[in-house]
Structure 1
Amino acid sequence: MNQAEMEQFAQNDREDLLALLEMRFGPVPDDVREVIGLNEDLNDLQRLIIAACNAAEWEVFVEELHAGQGSFKLTGERFNPVANSSGKGASL
């Protein structure tokens, strides 16, 4: 894969991540947009997409965003997308 393709994949991942965050949590603050906009690491962007899909609350995603590259600890009720604010999953 050449550099131009990698840059396009990263751009697509950034756009997907921002769209996903807006669908789940509403408007994305400018400071978070800036951090995401500067991220060029495909693995890290994909990790953040998984975190955005599964974070129970906005604050959980922001913690993961600032955890840095190489972090991958998406476990527990903090990453249960149907959990309520008490951290317990919703009953169906």
Structure 2
Amino acid sequence: MFLFEDEANIVDDREDLLAILKMRFGDIPPKIVEAIYDINAYETLERLILVASNVPSLKIFIEELEEGEGSFRILGDRFNPIEAQHGGGGMSGE
């Protein structure tokens, strides 16, 4: 029974991840959708949901997607969703 629940959570997380990407960046290339459907690790999908919610561009998300299961850090301006809107400089306007 626990295996079924894990699989259901993975399916839900895949769909959530794709929904976030579509809301933020529009149409998602089929290769990216396929790569997301190939992920079977719940922790990886959870990390990518956080990444998708915070990166300023799809390009950076794809770079993180290609990192695989070994990447855990989500730090720095690279993960600032406001960065893309303000064209750099951060929140202090520098």
Whether these two folds match at TM > 0.5 is yes
Q: Relative to structure 1, is the Cα distance of residues 88 and 60 closer, same or farther in structure 2, using a 3 angstrom cutoff?
A: farther
Q: Structure 1, residues 28-58: CA drift from partner, whole Å, max 9, x if none?
A: 1100000000111000000000000000111
1:66 matched to which residue of 2? 66
Query: Unmatched 5+ residue regions in structure 1?
Result: none
Code of the residue aligned with 1:35 in structure 2: it is A
1:57 matched to which residue of 2? 57
Whichever of the two has the greater Rg, that structure is 2
TM-score norm. by structure 1 comes to 0.90
Matches within 5 A, 1:1-92: 2-84=2-84, 86-89=87-90
Q: How much is the aligned-residue C-alpha RMSD, in angstroms? A: 1.9
Moved more, 81-90 or 65-74: 81-90
- Report which of the two has the higher share of helix: 2
Q: Relative to structure 1, is the Cα distance of residues 19 and 83 closer, same or farther in structure 2, using a 3 angstrom cutoff?
A: same
Partners of 1:68 and 1:87 in 2: CA distance: 27
Code of the residue aligned with 1:89 in structure 2: it is G
Q: Alignment identity in percent? A: 44
Q: Relative to structure 1, is the Cα distance of residues 73 and 88 closer, same or farther in structure 2, using a 3 angstrom cutoff?
A: farther
Does the 8 Å CA contact 1:20/1:53 hold for their aligned counterparts? yes
